[in-house]
């Protein structure tokens, strides 16, 4: 072998060293962050994570979210949500959909669940926290495209007898009712879970109840209200004159009894309250009130709806209250939190009856043939096109348009200077889809200009949750000056209008232990949060004395205390000379005391597809459109200018039942 010179060896060494340095620089450059701050880490390289199981946590909507994430060297194997207390039902899809998408796509670039953005962000942050502990490049994972993005499948074409569009309370009621008539049903829902706005509501259901109401004590304030009704003039009630006349006879018979200690109610009183509550004048000067046949159907079938729901597994408590804006103690509540009892029970009933439920499936157009609605086209979240033919009928139950600010502003004919950025209690899916589809096939729109503002929305989110209060008769509203400013037992539009005039459009609902039912701070509220968690994050304020509470919410102490003392005298006398409150709970005196900050938000859109008492959708001439039915907030005609609190749940289940049965019976 030829021997190499010293000079040759040195040159070879220098060349080799240079190559090593160059490769090193290339490697360093590859690992460094780019100038825009995005990581250049190769996510397909080996050893992306330190194998093991890691815990992570972050703040959700109402609670701390805790997760357990298991990884191997180069993949996310599983994600387990070990603790969360966000709103039950509303946030449920977050904790199933997002972990599945992350594991499937091996990425944190996952969309939030519609209508639950805060919970979605909290869960994603908790998972990111765990992955960071596993050594992951979290920033890179947030920008990484899914390994396998959703790909549209072969078009789906199906035929059934009844198609229901919308998986909230009205849609599920229609599906169950149609199934009870023996019809084959397919229900489609554009969200990843059932429930719609129903599951976000408090679940309050108004109905005359001959079983529970006679067990409730009557009071002098309510007796005085009945006496006031005796002074009403029939000639001022139009088509409701005969109903008022009948009601007066019922009231006289009741007052003539020796014992008037038990609560009085009747379908006719419910009708008159609904008529009075809904009769309003628009900004254009036109008056509106509920269609008689719809109001009558609601009131006379309310108790039957309760019995039907009970027959399908829904439990109701024995208590009767007055939800905000209901005008009378006829409000029922399910024994399960929020409206989960309704949704869970009806889903089971529909499935048992053979209904097929298709989630993540958004209806896009009604199919018309020879003047009849015979089906719908739809699109699934992965882009798959769906065509559903219905041999008997289509039930539209897609809800209102409260989460569509453009539609709200376009149609508003009631609220002067309505803020286009006002928040809503609604799910983000309440965008008016069914109204648009119905109008395209000739449906008449009724009462579109009347939008209900919920006076008691959560200031940051607009949601109903995040606070505590008792039945409407127990509630006390004070502004930032520490003073009452309205009759808390009034209709919701009255309450909202008054709240909008207060400083910062904000007020506080004041409660004590009696009004709240003497809970422990570890107990859960109707919204699924514990009292203590709400106190900890200052969603509610708790004071051992009225003075303490006033200081916490920043209102003048002396003014506030005097105001509460004065209110207690009104309770004693069953008379409110300032604002005319007609019904009272107990005095505010049992510590601790609570204050919930609130502000108005869009809650319910009264207008929609005009229907008749058979839930048939009507055209501009008042004639039913063959094969087309509707129920719930997508419809117009019942609530008119203002909906009574608690009437919507009665509406969706009563007319949902009717719509399903009508569609199933169609030939």
- List active site positions: 492
For 462-491, give the secondary structure using H, E and C: CCCCCCCCCCHHHCEEECCCCCCCCCCCCC
Nearest to 488 by CA among 615, 627, 326: 326
Nearest to 325 by CA among 625, 646, 88, 24: 646
Report the run of H or E that residue 500 belongs to, with start and end: helix 492-500
Residue 100's Cβ-count burial label (10 Å; 0-12, 13-18, 19+) is: exposed
The first and second tokens of residue 503, run together, are 């400083």
The first and second tokens of residue 92, run together, are 């449920």
The Cα–Cα gap between 286 and 282 comes to 5
Sign of CA dihedral 316, 176, 337, 399: negative
592: preceding bond cis by omega (within 30 degrees)? yes
Please count the residues of the chain. Answer: 667
CB-based contact 41:61 (threshold 8 Å) = no
- Provide DSSP, 500-526: HTSGGG-EEEEEEHHHHTS--TTSB-T
CA 426 from centre of chain:
5
CB-based contact 434:398 (threshold 8 Å) = yes
The Cα–Cα gap between 646 and 349 comes to 24
Phi, psi angle pair for 352, to nearest 5°: -65, -30
Helix-strand-coil percent breakdown of the chain, rounded to 5? 35, 20, 45
**What is the signed CA dihedral for 41, 107, 113, 629, rounded to 10 degrees?**
130
Nearest to 629 by CA among 643, 647, 615: 615
Nearest to 476 by CA among 490, 488, 492: 488
């Amino acid at each position: 072998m030829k021997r190499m010179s010293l000079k040759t060896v040195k040159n070879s060494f220098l060349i080799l060293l240079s190559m090593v340095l160059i490769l090193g620089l290339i490697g360093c450059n590859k690992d460094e962050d780019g100038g825009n701050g995005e990581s250049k880490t190769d996510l397909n390289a080996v050893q992306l994570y330190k194998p093991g199981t890691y815990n992570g946590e972050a703040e959700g909507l109402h609670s701390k979210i805790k997760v357990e994430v298991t990884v191997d060297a180069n993949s996310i194997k599983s994600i387990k949500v070990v603790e969360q207390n966000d709103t039950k039902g509303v946030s449920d899809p977050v904790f199933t959909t997002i972990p599945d998408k992350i594991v499937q796509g091996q990425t944190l670039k996952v969309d939030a669940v519609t209508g639950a953005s805060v919970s979605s962000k909290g869960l994603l942050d908790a998972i990111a926290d765990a992955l960071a502990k596993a050594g992951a490049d979290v920033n890179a994972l947030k920008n990484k495209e899914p390994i396998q993005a959703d790909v549209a499948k072969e078009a789906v074409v199906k035929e059934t007898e009844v198609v229901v569009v919308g998986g909230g309370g009205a849609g599920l009621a229609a599906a169950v009712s149609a199934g009870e008539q023996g019809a084959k049903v397919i229900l489609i829902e554009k969200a990843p879970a059932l429930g719609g706005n129903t599951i976000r509501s408090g679940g309050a259901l108004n109905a005359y109840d001959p079983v529970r109401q006679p067990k409730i004590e009557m009071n002098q304030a309510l007796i005085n209200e009945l006496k006031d009704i005796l002074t009403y003039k029939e000639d001022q009630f139009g088509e409701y004159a005969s109903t008022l006349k009948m009601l007066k006879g019922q009231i006289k018979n009741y007052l003539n009894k020796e014992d008037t200690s038990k609560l009085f109610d009747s379908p006719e009183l419910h009708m008159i309250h609904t008529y009075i509550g809904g009769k309003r004048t628009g900004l254009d000067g036109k008056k509106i009130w509920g269609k008689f046949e719809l109001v009558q159907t609601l009131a006379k079938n309310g108790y039957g709806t309760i019995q039907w729901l009970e027959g399908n597994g829904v439990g109701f408590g024995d208590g009767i209250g007055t939800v905000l804006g209901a005008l009378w103690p006829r409000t029922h509540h399910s024994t399960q939190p929020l409206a989960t009892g309704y949704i869970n029970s009806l889903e089971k009933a529909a499935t048992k009856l053979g209904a097929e439920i298709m989630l993540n499936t958004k209806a896009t157009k009604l199919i018309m043939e020879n003047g009849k609605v015979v089906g719908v086209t739809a699109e699934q979240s992965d882009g798959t096109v769906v065509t559903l033919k219905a041999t008997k009928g289509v039930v539209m139950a897609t809800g209102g348009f409260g989460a569509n600010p453009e539609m709200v502003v376009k149609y508003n004919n009631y609220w002067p200077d309505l803020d286009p950025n006002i928040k809503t209690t609604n799910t983000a899916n309440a965008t008016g889809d069914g109204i648009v589809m119905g109008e395209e096939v000739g449906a008449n729109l009724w009462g579109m200009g009347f939008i209900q503002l919920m006076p008691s929305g959560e200031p940051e989110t607009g949601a109903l949750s995040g606070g505590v209060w008792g039945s409407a008769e127990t509630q006390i509203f004070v502004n930032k000056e520490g003073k009452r400013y309205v009759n808390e037992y009034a209709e919701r539009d009255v309450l909202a209008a008054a709240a909008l005039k207060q400083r910062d459009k904000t007020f506080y609902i004041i409660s004590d232990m009696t009004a709240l039912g003497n809970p422990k701070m570890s107990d859960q509220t109707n919204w699924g949060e514990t009292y203590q968690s709400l106190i900890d994050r200052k969603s509610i304020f708790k004071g051992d004395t009225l003075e303490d509470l006033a200081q916490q919410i920043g209102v003048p102490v002396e003014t506030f205390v005097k105001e509460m003392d004065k209110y207690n005298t009104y309770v004693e006398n069953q008379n409110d000379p300032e604002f005319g409150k007609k019904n009272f709970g107990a005095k505010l005196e049992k510590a601790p005391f609570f204050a919930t900050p609130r502000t108005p938000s869009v809650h319910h859109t009264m207008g929609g597809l005009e229907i008749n008492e058979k839930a048939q959708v009507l055209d501009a001439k008042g004639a039913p459109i063959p094969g087309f039915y509707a129920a719930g907030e997508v419809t117009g005609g019942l609530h008119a200018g203002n909906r009574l609190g608690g009437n919507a749940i009665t509406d969706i289940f009563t007319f949902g039942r009717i719509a399903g049965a009508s569609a199933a019976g169609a030939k």
